[in-house]
Amino acid sequence: GTWCPLNMSQQAVNGVSHRGKVLTLDSMNPNVKRVEYAVRGPIVQRAVQIEKELKEGVKKPFTEVIKANIGDAHAMGQKPITFLRQVLALCSYPELLEDNMFPEDAKKRARRILESCGGHSIGAYSASQGIECIRQDVARYIERRDGGIPSSPDNIYLSTGASDAIVTMLKLLVCGEGRSRTGVMISIPQYPLYSAALADLGAVQISYYLDEDKCWSLDVAELRRALNAARQHCNPRVLCIINPGNPTGQVQSRQCIEDVIRFAKEEHLFLMADEVYQDNVYAEGCKFHSFKKVLFEMGPEYSSTVEMASFHSTSKCYMGECGFRGGYMEVINMDPEVKAQLTKLVSVRLCPPVPGQALLDLVVNPPQPDEPSYTTFMKERTAVLAALAEKARLTEETFNTVPGITCNPVQGAMYTFPRITLPQKAIDKAKEEGQVPDMYYCMRLLEEEGICLVPGSGFGQREGTFHFRMTILPPTEKLKVVLQKIREFHLRFTQEFS
């Protein structure tokens, strides 16, 4: 806002100078310019445009755009779980508690949640850390999940989706200048929230490659390589891991998790374990192991020293309630002074959405075998997870029949990240168009078939390789059609550029 002498010569109407804007590309925070988020990026914007065109009656080779770019189960037709919505409806309009349309166990939970809200309303602010009794329930859930390992509600922070908590932790941890700037390790490929947050914070991203040939598994030797290289130009302090993986879908073995924990301890790294897909495990022989459980089972040498945060949310698993923005993190072995700083940070957000908090409470407190809603709840939950498992298998199977597409097993999560072989001519054409090759490929697919995927370049991949991420969420019949169309497109595309 200081007066620039260069503008003195500009005369103007009404004495106001016609100077340039205050907020320009030059004056704005340069870090924001580096932020990208492919999941909602240019290809999605084009998809939305095409949808508008379809609505306006423009003729296209397809009648709808299938948005297989984002992990949104309900958008793809998955039904909400009845019990969850019943309780939320009761919380929203408590007069319904008098209505015999709703079962007793739903009413009981609604009453308990309302009791914990200011003015008995989900419209009141909650404490910034989240409603206390819900944090207690989350802690108990974690204890049950992890075979009795204690969890304290004071270490639970409810958040606006897991993303909010992840960004908050990074905000807390990133500091230093130049060569001592905080370095954060994240997988390639990764969910681009991480790269976006690191760009925004001006942190140094330390990429470690998952091994595509070994089913996207994580090798500690690779972690070590990446870390040692990074030490030259930054101060590595954080290791982020997504398990089950996004976009890769791999479920880490217990041994691997132990190795990662050992590595984090040796190298003095804060561990961030993104576990939002913990219920989405499909493959035979694969099992979700929570980082916290493994940590504690490794004994006090680790469990009392390794500093960690694990993240979960209501957006995935069997609930798929993305629109509620419900989530939490549990912090482990955090220095009390650091916790005090964390408390300040979360207060700027005021509080996480209360309906999301209420939803989380139901997820950690589902109907029990002796309750009226149990049977229906379990039936719906099982159906959702079974459908996902089937779709995971179908997707892998189908893609692997296409010459030029290789697909690792979708062990968990909600995505497939197949590798595509692109003819050199196609790569050249992409360059001509000013696009990275897999973006060119995906754009062509969108324009020709109305299927919206996200190019692998949006997640990171080894130089010279190309991928795309597709969700496995469309209903099975539609998914079959989508897979077929991609198959046909790929063959056509390869033919065109042969």
Partner 1 sequence: MHRAQIKLCNELREISPHVKNMKQLEYVVLARRVSQIKEELRQGVRKPYKEVIDVSWGDPHRAGLKPLTFVRQVLSTCLYPELMNSNRLPADVRQRAQRLLGGCAGGSVGSYTATEGIPEIVHSVSEFITRRDGGVPSDPENIYISPGSQWALTNILNVLVNREASTRTGVLTPMPCHSATTLGIMGLGGVVVPYYLSEEQGWELQVEDLHQALESAKGVCNPVALYVINPGNPSGQVQSRKSMQEVIRFVSERRLFLLADEVYQDCIYGENSEFVSYKKVLTEMGPPLSDTVELASFHSASKGFMGECGLRGGYVELVNLDPAVLKYIKTLFSTDSCAPVLGQLALDLMMNPPQPGDPSYPLYDMETQHIRTTLVHNAKRAVSVLNSLQGFCCQPVEGGAFAFPRVYLPPKAIQKAKEVGMQPDTFYCIRLLEEAGLLFSAGCEYGQKEGTHHIRYNTTDEIKRYSKYSINKYHIKTVFSSGQIPAWLKISGQIQKDIKSNCAL
Give the footprint of partner 1 on residues 186-225 (CB under 8 A): 193, 196-197, 200, 202
Question: Does 248 engage in binding with partner 1 (CB under 8 A)?
Answer: no
CB of 420 to partner 1, least distance (A): 25
CB of 411 to partner 1, least distance (A): 24
Task: Show the CA angle centred on residue 319, arms to residues 318 and 321, nearest 5°.
Answer: 145
Part in contact with partner 1 (CB under 8 A); list of ranges 73-81, 371-379, 386-394, 487-495: 73-81
- Do residues 316 and 170 touch, judged by C-beta distance below 8 A? no
- CA distances for 288 relative to 218, 252, 278, 329, 407, angstroms: 15, 8, 6, 17, 21
Q: How far apart are CA 444 and CA 221, in angstroms?
A: 38
Question: Does 236 engage in binding with partner 1 (CB under 8 A)?
Answer: no
Query: 271-308 burial string, b = 16+ CB within 10 Å, else e?
Result: bbbbbbbbbbbbbeebebbbbbbbbbebeeebbeebbb
Write a three-state SS string for 61-100.
Answer: CCCCCEECCCCCCHHHCCCCCHHHHHHHHHHHCHHHHHCC
Residue placing its CB nearer to partner 1 in the complex, 126 or 461: 126
CB of 265 to partner 1, least distance (A): 8
Question: Does 153 engage in binding with partner 1 (CB under 8 A)?
Answer: no
Binders of partner 1 in range 82-101 (CB under 8 A): 85-86, 88-90, 92-93, 96, 99, 101
CB of 214 to partner 1, least distance (A): 31
CB of 14 to partner 1, least distance (A): 6
Residue placing its CB nearer to partner 1 in the complex, 105 or 396: 105
Part in contact with partner 1 (CB under 8 A); list of ranges 158-166, 288-296, 384-392, 432-440: 158-166
Question: Does 334 engage in binding with partner 1 (CB under 8 A)?
Answer: yes
- Within the chain, how many helices (H) and strands (E) appear? 17, 14
Nearest to 201 by CA among 186, 188, 187: 186
Question: Does 68 engage in binding with partner 1 (CB under 8 A)?
Answer: no
Binders of partner 1 in range 339-378 (CB under 8 A): 340-341, 343-345, 347-356
- Do residues 389 and 317 touch, judged by C-beta distance below 8 A? no
Question: Does 19 engage in binding with partner 1 (CB under 8 A)?
Answer: yes
CB of 77 to partner 1, least distance (A): 6
Binders of partner 1 in range 253-312 (CB under 8 A): 265, 268, 270, 304-305, 307
Question: Does 382 engage in binding with partner 1 (CB under 8 A)?
Answer: no
Among 116, 126, 205, 290, binds partner 1 (CB under 8 A): 126
DSSP 204-249: EEEEEE-BGGGTTB--HHHHHHHHHHHTTTSEEEEEEEESS-TTT-
Question: Does 12 engage in binding with partner 1 (CB under 8 A)?
Answer: yes
- How many residues in the shown chain lie near partner 1 by CB under 8 A? 104
Question: Does 24 engage in binding with partner 1 (CB under 8 A)?
Answer: yes
Q: Computed over its alpha carbons, how large is the radius of gyration of the chain? A: 24
Q: How far apart are CA 178 and CA 238, in angstroms?
A: 17
- CA distances for 95 relative to 80, 100, 101, 110, 125, angstroms: 22, 11, 12, 11, 21
Question: Does 338 engage in binding with partner 1 (CB under 8 A)?
Answer: yes
Joined tokens for residue 458 = 């949006």
Question: Does 77 engage in binding with partner 1 (CB under 8 A)?
Answer: yes
CB of 220 to partner 1, least distance (A): 19
Residue placing its CB nearer to partner 1 in the complex, 344 or 431: 344
Residue placing its CB nearer to partner 1 in the complex, 36 or 259: 36
Question: Does 450 engage in binding with partner 1 (CB under 8 A)?
Answer: no
Nearest to 218 by CA among 244, 183, 194, 195: 244
CB of 264 to partner 1, least distance (A): 10
Residue placing its CB nearer to partner 1 in the complex, 175 or 403: 175
Residue placing its CB nearer to partner 1 in the complex, 1 or 369: 1
- Give the three-class secondary structure for 297: helix
- Do residues 35 and 199 touch, judged by C-beta distance below 8 A? yes
Q: How far apart are CA 299 and CA 310, in angstroms?
A: 19
Residue placing its CB nearer to partner 1 in the complex, 48 or 378: 48
Question: Does 237 engage in binding with partner 1 (CB under 8 A)?
Answer: yes
Q: How far apart are CA 497 and CA 428, in angstroms?
A: 10
CB of 113 to partner 1, least distance (A): 11
Residue placing its CB nearer to partner 1 in the complex, 203 or 442: 203
- Do residues 242 and 280 touch, judged by C-beta distance below 8 A? no
Contacts of 221 (CB under 8 A, 6+ apart): none
Question: Does 240 engage in binding with partner 1 (CB under 8 A)?
Answer: no
Write a three-state SS string for 315-358.
Answer: CCCCCCCHHHCEEEEEEECCCHHHHHHHHHHHHHCCCCCHHHHH
CB of 253 to partner 1, least distance (A): 26
